Amino acid sequence: MAKVTIKDIAKRVGVSPTTVSNVINGRHGKVSSDTIRKINRVIEELNYVPDFSARSLVSKRSRMIGVIIPQTEEHPQFLLENPFYSEFISGIEKHLREQGYYMMLTGVDKDTTYLDVLVNWNLDAIILLGIYKEGLYEQLKEVKVPVLLIDSYVEDSYFHHLRINDELGGYMATKHLIEKGHKKIAMVSGHLKENGVSAKRFAGYKRALKESGLSYEKQYLFADSVSYEWGMEAAKEILALEEVTAVYCTADLIAAGLLTGLHHAGVSVPDELSVIGFDNLSISRMTVPALTTVNQNIFSKGERAAETVLAILDRGINAIEKNQEMEISILERDTVRDLKE
Amino acid sequence: MAKVTIKDIAKRVGVSPTTVSNVINGRHGKVSSDTIRKINRVIEELNYVPDFSARSLVSKRSRMIGVIIPQTEEHPQFLLENPFYSEFISGIEKHLREQGYYMMLTGVDKDTTYLDVLVNWNLDAIILLGIYKEGLYEQLKEVKVPVLLIDSYVEDSYFHHLRINDELGGYMATKHLIEKGHKKIAMVSGHLKENGVSAKRFAGYKRALKESGLSYEKQYLFADSVSYEWGMEAAKEILALEEVTAVYCTADLIAAGLLTGLHHAGVSVPDELSVIGFDNLSISRMTVPALTTVNQNIFSKGERAAETVLAILDRGINAIEKNQEMEISILERDTVRDLKE
């Protein structure tokens, strides 16, 4: 059977295709309720399914939300290398699917002309992860769709933001170690870009140290990349500092690598060295020992991101709080030793 | 500045909008080469970007590929819980992006009417992961787009297939253990659905045992779900069988859980017990010790999936080999002990 079209329905009911289209797209204004009933009955009889690609041109809604993930310079090809993205995207997809929306998922590299194309794909909204060059934000502002920035500290009132308080998370992680009696605390992190997430998590570390009367020691800081490999490498550096009793990693991926590196070096965690991570990735329950970390509920954060853009579409760009923050907490597992016990 | 439209270009060049549209969509037949040159110059001057949502209606190409992941019954919400999906999708996305295509990523649950909508979104092709009820395949056949099934043993010449030889992989894994001197080999797997991937990997295990004159022992088989949690639980069951010296896990996710379970039980791998996995997930290099496994290059498999559907679109559904198989190999890391040494 050929695909049922609006014309078929129109013919059967005896009205114009425009009338059918108006009813399908919820513009009932000039159509009698009798006609609406007839059209809906025929739609059901013929098992008609609207072609959203066509409909998007009429209603100006594509029901498609774009999710953009940056390609980092170290790993330009592997979109979901960091499990953070997979978990976050799972949350977005779940909520969109439940609401009858679709997700277009894409990476974006330095070739920003790609984005020109993307934003012209008639997306209803864009969820943007990561940090980009300034030019991209200006381009995004010219497109008239809502843009939600995730974990970004870009100061621009045009955009909506969803993030956690990264500075507070860094403070909480460090404070947790201090409360367990640790005084010589090293930190391993990704590159400390200004206004980046790692830099904020570093600021929290320094605040906690200062508040507890501990001095910040530059030689305790190891910043490179958010990767498992860097964590493994950093283990050697940490072990050269004999006085250190605990390590705060600004990402679970780094902490997982650190634990492996320490294991290979024959160092027992937490007996000889304590470790705390950040994010509560699903892999953090799989490390040996299981990782104590700062829990940001990544899946829920994805759901919240989807909820937020749909709320903006529903109620308008000014009706929704511009800066949304998710709760965080310390999740105690098995990698931090209480020195007071 | 208002968005540049085809009308603006037409006005500037002094031709009809239809002519401009024809040139943009590659229908140069009736247009003089001089006019084509003029149009292209103005497109560049005005920085015009085609609206693909509109274009898809004209050219019948949306440049959008749908990727569908099943929602399992145990975890109906977490789309990318299994890292296999993230790695596979990363490969797809990379290739599509390079070729100027887009990816719509979605889960699908038992409510198959959702799929009706999906296939009407004017997708150019569909990449389908996992196994579904028969009705879904019939629905897919009615949509006139290429469908590539991943890791499916559905017998139907309508579809294209991309998979590995799962039976052979199971055989290779078991054979590897036998070659290292193991004779009492347990197996831990997901649910053994007929024609499912786990069942094929189980068949290979039995073939290798038989070929080596070892008998298959029913009490050595532990089948439940492809999950980390099941691996942890299975550790207890395995340890009750004192004579077993090696365990073949049909998925790395299970093997990772098993390693943790064994660690908690104080069992040293590989000294006291050997373990081999299957898939070579990125987490398999993160386990302690690092996991020996059957390597299917998941990222490349994703790239190949994207290549395949684009080749079908380019060269026609009958020009491309229906059943494509990726190579597999044993990747030796640190979890299998050679009993002969």
Write the pLDDT tens digit of every residue in B252-267: 999 999 999 999 999 9
Write the pLDDT tens digit of every residue in B128-152: 998 777 777 887 777 778 999 999 9
Q: If you average pLDDT over each of A127-131, B67-71, B172-176, which comes out highest?
A: B172-176
Mean predicted confidence (pLDDT) in A193-211: 95
Mean predicted confidence (pLDDT) in A118-129: 79
The first and second tokens of residue A288, run together, are: 């040996």
Write the pLDDT tens digit of every residue in B76-87: 556 777 889 999
Q: Is A120 on the interface with B (CB under 8 A)?
A: yes
In terms of pLDDT, which residue wins out, A298 or A122?
Answer: A298
Q: Is B58 on the interface with A (CB under 8 A)?
A: no
Average pLDDT value over all residues in chain A: 87
Using an 8 Å Cβ cutoff, are B248 and B205 in contact?
yes
In terms of pLDDT, which residue wins out, A109 or B278?
Answer: B278
Closest partner residue to B93 among A54, A62, A107, by Cβ?
A: A107
In terms of pLDDT, which residue wins out, A288 or B244?
Answer: B244
* Window A:203-242, CB contacts with B under 8 Å: 228
B315: closest CA of chain A, how far (Å)? 24
Of the candidates A289, A279, A288, A220, the one whose C-alpha atom is nearest the C-alpha of residue A254 is A279
* Window A:290-329, CB contacts with B under 8 Å: 299
Between A49-58, B99-108, B148-157, the lowest mean confidence (pLDDT) is in A49-58
Residue A195 is classified by DSSP as T
Best of B80, B108, B267, B301 to substitute, by most chain A Cβ atoms within 10 angstroms, is B80
Tell me what pLDDT residue B121 has.
66
Q: Is A86 on the interface with B (CB under 8 A)?
A: yes
Using an 8 Å Cβ cutoff, are B228 and A283 in contact?
no
Burial letters for B235-261: b for 16+ Cβ neighbours within 10 Å, e otherwise? beebbeeeebbbbbbbbbbbbbbbbbb
Closest partner residue to B102 among A49, A104, A263, by Cβ?
A: A104
Of the candidates B193, B298, B202, B192, the one whose C-alpha atom is nearest the C-alpha of residue B248 is B202
Q: Is A57 on the interface with B (CB under 8 A)?
A: yes
Report chain A residues whose CB lies below 8 A from the CB of B287. Answer: 286
Using an 8 Å Cβ cutoff, are B251 and B230 in contact?
no
Percent of the residues in chain A that have a pLDDT greater than 90, as a whole number = 55
In terms of pLDDT, which residue wins out, B52 or A67?
Answer: A67
In angstroms, the CA A125 to CA A92 distance is 13
Tell me what pLDDT residue B132 has.
77
In terms of pLDDT, which residue wins out, A204 or A56?
Answer: A204
Q: What is the pTM of this model?
A: 0.81
User: Is ipTM over 0.85?
Assistant: no
Confidence of residue B88 (pLDDT cuts 50, 70, 90): very high
Tell me what pLDDT residue B106 has.
85
Structural domains of chain A, with CATH:
6-50 (1.10.260.40), 64-164+298-326 (3.40.50.2300), 166-296 (3.40.50.2300)
Contacts of B11 (CB under 8 A, 6+ apart): none
